[in-house]
Amino acid sequence: MSQLSGPRFVTLPEIREAALRSTPRDAWNFGDGGAETETTLRRNRAHLDRLAIAQNVLVDVREIDLRTSLLGVPLSWPVAVAPMGGLVLFHREGDVEMARGAGQGDTLQWLSGATGWPVEDVAKAGAGPQMFQLYAHGDRGWMGELLARVEASGYRAVALTADVQLYGRRERDILNRFTPREAMKIAPNPRGPDPHYQARLTWGDVEWLMKTTRLPVGIKGLMTVADARRAVEMGVRLVWVSNHGGRQLDHTQSTVDALPPIVDAVAGRAEIVVDGGFNRGTDVVKALARGARVVACGRTMLWGLAADGAAGVARVCEILREELQTTMGLCGRTRIADLTPDLITRVD
């Protein structure tokens, strides 16, 4: 077999490198960067790196089963594409292409509420499960109409992003004089986006959302025990531990460290998604062992899209899945339910 007949990409860092080469500098920084000093961004990663996985041996690991579910939706593996706006800056067909890639990779796609595409078109392009992330970019009338379209298109859940009440100061973009919305040439929505809709978002809006949609409701951007507890007490079904990949509040906790006390407080009353710096199979194992049900990947999927469109996203999924399987086998766990807290130690 000639060397060139293999897959185009063989490791995840190789895909990131290819994305870096093919993406205009301002768009790259928009995707790669975080808020202010980027401490949150680095901390997400640093705190993952200080966790060690126990190496349990002499277990028959010929069959490793990655299947799981989220909110009753069966998933072939516990990883999802995180919702991301601005995908058109990385691929001409943006969210539609991401939907194709997620479908090819048999991976749950969360569509961003900042999408420039009609939700119906993205739903048609996807072959696998899809869920919708909502931004309060307009009044309740506007959100209600959007939610009706989301439901009619077959999305299986909706998560309200709560950590963008104000837009984080992304200093790379500020320095580059780069405004994503302008770069994407998105016409202003006459009933939004209006930053004030987000700034005045409160728990009352979550109640409204739960009354308005028949889909299971989640909140994305929960980082404290108090907020997570309040969410589940209101009947929120999905607690999404996230600091927006370090793009919003700088100097907040890492998500992998915020996770365990939230898992304890939620106590099985809601399902838990986590994101923020989870780029490798080992990271997914750490998240699941600490109690997350699904790990969402943002930039890792974005680099796949930028490097090779849908095929790049599918390849990211394939490699990450292989890493996850290898990691599980090498730590002696063959089912997702076997990934338990005793697998993880903090090493510093």
Ligand X SMILES: Cc1cc2nc3c(=O)[nH]c(=O)nc-3n(C[C@H](O)[C@H](O)[C@H](O)COP(=O)(O)O)c2cc1C
Q: Which residues are marked as active site? A: 244
Cβ closer to ligand X: 64 or 183?
Answer: 183
Q: Choose which of 130, 198, 213, 242 interacts with ligand X (CB under 6 A).
A: 242
Q: What CA–CA distance (Å, rounded) separates 276 from 243?
A: 7
CB of 83 to ligand X, least distance (A): 4
Closest listed residue to residue 324, CA positions, set 25, 85, 306, 316: 316
85 binds ligand X (CB under 6 A): yes
CB of 71 to ligand X, least distance (A): 17
Q: Choose which of 40, 48, 86, 213 interacts with ligand X (CB under 6 A).
A: 86
**In Å, how far from its chain's centre is CA 323?**
18
The CA–CA distances, whole Å, from 36 to 46, 116, 198 equal 17, 26, 20
For 226-278, the DSSP string reads: HHHHHHHHTT-SEEEE--GGGTSSTT---HHHHHHHHHHHHTTSSEEEEESS-
Q: Would strands 68-70 and 130-134 be described as parallel, antiparallel, or unpaired?
A: unpaired
Phi, psi of 158 (to 5 degrees): -135, 135
Question: CB-based burial of residue 155 (10 Å sphere; 0-12 exposed, 13-18 middle, 19+ buried)?
Answer: buried
Q: Which stretch in 17-25, 100-108, 208-216, 244-252 sits in contact with ligand X by CB under 6 A?
A: 244-252
Binding mask 260-299 for ligand X (x = CB under 6 A): ---------------xxxx------------------xxx
The CA–CA distances, whole Å, from 324 to 199, 245, 286, 328 equal 39, 21, 10, 6
321 binds ligand X (CB under 6 A): no
Phi, psi of 238 (to 5 degrees): -135, 120
CB of 245 to ligand X, least distance (A): 3
At position 219, the amino acid (one-letter code) is: I
Q: Choose which of 130, 133, 254, 282 interacts with ligand X (CB under 6 A).
A: 133
Within 13-32, which residues bind ligand X (CB under 6 A)?
A: 31
Q: Which residue has the closest beta carbon to ligand X?
A: 298
Within 159-198, which residues bind ligand X (CB under 6 A)?
A: 161
From first CA to last CA, the distance across the chain in angstroms is 44
CB of 272 to ligand X, least distance (A): 14
CB of 228 to ligand X, least distance (A): 16
Q: Choose which of 43, 91, 220, 333 interacts with ligand X (CB under 6 A).
A: 220
Closest listed residue to residue 96, CA positions, set 313, 322, 299, 296: 313
Cβ closer to ligand X: 23 or 242?
Answer: 242
Question: How many residues interact with ligand X (rule CB under 6 A)?
Answer: 24
Cβ closer to ligand X: 180 or 333?
Answer: 180
126 binds ligand X (CB under 6 A): no
Binding site for ligand X (CB under 6 A): 31, 82-86, 112, 114, 133, 161, 220, 242, 244-245, 247, 275-278, 297-300, 302
